[in-house]
Chain A
């Protein structure tokens, strides 16, 4: 079992829909990152969380440390949001970053 699990693996939605991507982890962490990877491969860091909730534009990220779970929400989704979204955690034990396999999001116009 992977230490960081994301769901769903693939998601196709219509423009305007509310999107939720989930991330569960099994290790103790000091921080959790949400990353966005575009088709060309370039990575953009969206959020870093250690507790609570953060919002940036149409993106919202939440984390529940007790439940070892984080969600990334996209409101009013747009085709340009189409990308792979990756959850990554910083292990408190050895300080290394463990990546989820990513969620491939496709927003249809």
Chain B
């Protein structure tokens, strides 16, 4: 079946540094990818929609200058947490829909997630 990978699976960094997280669709092309964040014991929350060839769409309350999204190709989206702070420590997950029929719903495939800890 279709697979979405994320790299790294976990990262620890110092406050003030930037961290890049990659999301790849391994055996299908995805013009759209989604990024989510999950704080401890809370539900997953959509952060932004990554669009290949155009700007990402951010959800209300998500700072686009802090969370830079680049959809470099049809199989890769990156999320860069700039000038990370301890409050950015969270679990970041991506998903990608595989379009089989543009007229129908698209199956969504989730990455395994990346745990970010900012010291």
Residues of A within 8 A of B (CB): 30-31, 33, 35, 40-45, 48, 50, 86, 88, 90, 96-97, 99-102
A50 partner residues in chain B, CB cutoff 8 A: 105
A42 touches B113 (CB 8 A): yes
Task: Flag if B112 contacts A31 (CB, 8 Å).
Answer: no
Q: Is the CB of B43 within 8 A of A101?
A: yes
A-side contacts of B34, CB under 8 Å: 97
A31-B107, A31-B108, A97-B95 as given contacts; A86 in contact with B44, CB under 8 Å:
yes
CB distance from B101 to the nearest CB of A (A): 12
Chain B residue at minimum C-beta to C-beta distance from A6? B43
Q: Which of B46, B91, B110 contacts A45 (CB 8 A)?
A: B110
Chain B residues within CB distance 8 Å of chain A: 9, 34, 36, 38, 42-46, 91, 93, 95, 105, 107-113, 115
Contact A31-B105, Cβ < 8 Å, known A41-B113, A43-B111: yes
| CB contact under 8 A between A99 and B108, given known A41-B113, A43-B93, A43-B113 | no
9 contacts between A and B (CB under 8 A): A30-B105, A31-B108, A40-B115, A41-B91, A42-B9, A43-B112, A48-B107, A86-B44, A99-B36
Q: How far is the CB of B67 from chain A (nearest CB, A)?
A: 17
- Once the chains bind, are A43 and B108 in contact (CB under 8 Å)? no
Query: Is there contact, CB below 8 Å, between B110 and A43?
Result: yes
Residue of A nearest to B109 (CB): A45
Give B86 Cβ to nearest chain A Cβ, in Å: 18
* B110 and A100 contacting across the interface, CB-CB below 8 Å: no
> Residues of B contacting A40 with CB < 8 Å?
115
Q: Are B107 and A35 in touch, CB under 8 angstroms? A: no
Cα–Cα, bound, A48→B110 (Å): 11
Determine the chain A residues whose CB is within 8 A of the CB of B112 once the complex forms: 42-44
| Most chain A CB neighbours (cut-off 10 Å) among B43, B45, B111 | B43
